[in-house]
Homo-oligomer: A and B are copies of this chain.
Amino acid sequence: MTMIEDGMIAPLLLFLGDAPDIGWAKTASGLAQWRPEDCAGQYRLAGCQVDLGLPDMDFAAARAAGVRTLVIGIANDGGFIADSWVPHLIAALGAGLDIAAGLHERLADHTEIAAAASEAGRSLHDLRQPKRVFRPGTGKKRSGLRLLTVGTDCAVGKKYTALSLEREMRARGMAATFCPTGQTGIMITGRGIAIDSVVADFISGAAEWLSPPADRNHWHLIEGQGALLHPAYAGVTLGLVHGSQPDAMVICHEAGRTELQGYEGDFACPSLRAALDVHLAAARLTNPAVRGVGVSLNTSLLDEGAARDALKRAEDEMGLPACDPLRWGAGAIVDHLARTFPA
């Protein structure tokens, strides 16, 4: 039994709704990938195009199998509770499950869901809303080392890159701590802050809180959010960049993506060089010594040969090591990081 944040209890049943593709189910797939021991099954509605390879369970079967919490594992644009989910969520409560979610809209604010939870004596866990009050950023330098993953777009692998770096660095005996900034990372680790959900004035202050002063050789590996060249989310990104005061940045991209996801026809995906440069320029405000240390490519759309080619091209273009952390590990970036910042 694992407790996270304000008490979401495993084992977990992952609610996939009618997700049309894996991009919509990134919270569920993140849990399945990074916390597999706690994921007992998946629950899918008609039309769902995602299969995480977990047993399909209805709520009674899940409860009988010991499941404690139904996790809403999908994220829609805007983070609201879709009407089509509501009868299923109420049924889950009636079957004895708690519900956890990382949406902007709170379960506890939804009249029908809140009433059903109260009647069934079950708990609702809203993990996206900060439980703390923050202050404006100070810009004051903190001790320790920080790496922030940044991207050409949303959903390009910033979280997985930071998690993979943590795994690799710890395997080498380096002091490293993954700092989640979104609901999936919070659900995976039981810590962190959904930086896109704080009051706008306090983005950088919340980011400062997230990676406090630390030992000289300790790396905070901060999950990036959004992208500076994104028309919707760049404000979140900039506050996170300023508050994180990164010493190092890894630029993340999905190989083959040419337009911003969800903004096709309106916004092109920037080049690796343009994207890294704009993040470095912004980061210099609070850490003039910041440097790019690697490229992380999600090559899942490519076969092995094409993926190797894409990594080689990225290395040549950027003069930095390029990895697909999930496919072949993040070792080359950690090698370069260790050389660039010797203990």
Q: Within the complex, which residue of B77, B139, B200, B240 is in contact with A267, where a contact is CB–CB below 8 Å?
A: B139
Known: A139-B263, A139-B266. A235 touches B78 (CB 8 A): no
Bound-complex Cα distance A136 to B263 (A): 12
Cα distance A240–B231 in the bound complex, in angstroms: 10
Which of A118-126, A191-199, A314-322 has 4 or more CB atoms under 8 Å from chain B?
A191-199
Q: Is the CB of B196 within 8 A of A201?
A: yes
A197 vs B136: C-alpha distance in the bound complex, in angstroms? 12
* A239 adjacent to chain B (CB < 8 Å): yes
A132 at the interface (CB under 8 A from B): no
Contacts of A240 in B (CB 8 A): 235
**Complex: A229 Cα to B238 Cα, angstroms:** 10
B200 touches A203 (CB 8 A): yes
A286 interface residue, CB < 8 Å from B? yes
CB distance B139 to A232 under 8 Å? yes
User: Is A138 among interface residues, defined by CB-CB distance under 8 A?
Assistant: yes
Interface residues as binary, A314-340 with B (CB distance below 8 Å gives 1, 0 otherwise): 000000000000000000000000000
Partner of A200, one of B78, B199, B285: B199
Q: Is A140 an interface residue (CB 8 A)?
A: yes
CA distance A326 to B107 in the complex (A): 49
Q: Is the CB of A234 closer than 8 A to any CB of chain B?
A: yes
Report chain B residues within 8 Å CB of A203. 200, 235-236
Instruction: Identify A235's interface contact among B140, B197, B204, CB under 8 A.
Output: B204
A185 at the interface (CB under 8 A from B): no
Is A209 interfacial (CB 8 A cutoff)?
no
> Are A238 and B234 in contact, with the CB atoms below 8 A?
yes
Q: Bound state CA distance, A202 and B130, in angstroms?
A: 16
Interface size class of A (residues with CB under 8 A): 35 or more
In chain A, positions 146-166 with a C-beta closer than 8 Å to chain B are: none
- The smallest beta-carbon distance between A246 and chain B, in angstroms, is 14
| A135 CB-CB contact with B under 8 Å | yes
Q: How far is the CA of A192 from the CA of B31 in the complex (A)?
A: 40
Contact A235 B232 (CB under 8 A): no
Shortest Cβ distance from A239 into B: residue: B235
Contacts of A224 in B (CB 8 A): none
**Cβ B136 vs Cβ A239 within 8 A:** no
Separation of A201 and B181 alpha carbons in the complex (Å)? 12
A138 near B231 with CB under 8 A, answer yes
The reply on A205 being an interface residue by CB < 8 A is: yes
Known: A201-B236, A234-B242, A235-B237. 7 other contacts (CB 8 A): A136-B233, A137-B231, A199-B200, A200-B236, A234-B238, A234-B239, A235-B242
A residues with CB within 8 A of B? 77-79, 104, 135-140, 195-201, 203-205, 228-229, 231-240, 242-243, 263, 266-267, 282, 285-286
A–B Cβ pairs within 8 angstroms, 30 of them:
A79-B201, A136-B233, A137-B232, A138-B231, A139-B231, A139-B232, A139-B263, A195-B200, A196-B199, A196-B200, A196-B201, A197-B199, A197-B201, A198-B200, A199-B199, A200-B235, A201-B236, A204-B233, A204-B234, A228-B238, A231-B242, A231-B285, A232-B242, A234-B285, A235-B235, A235-B236, A235-B238, A235-B242, A236-B239, A267-B285
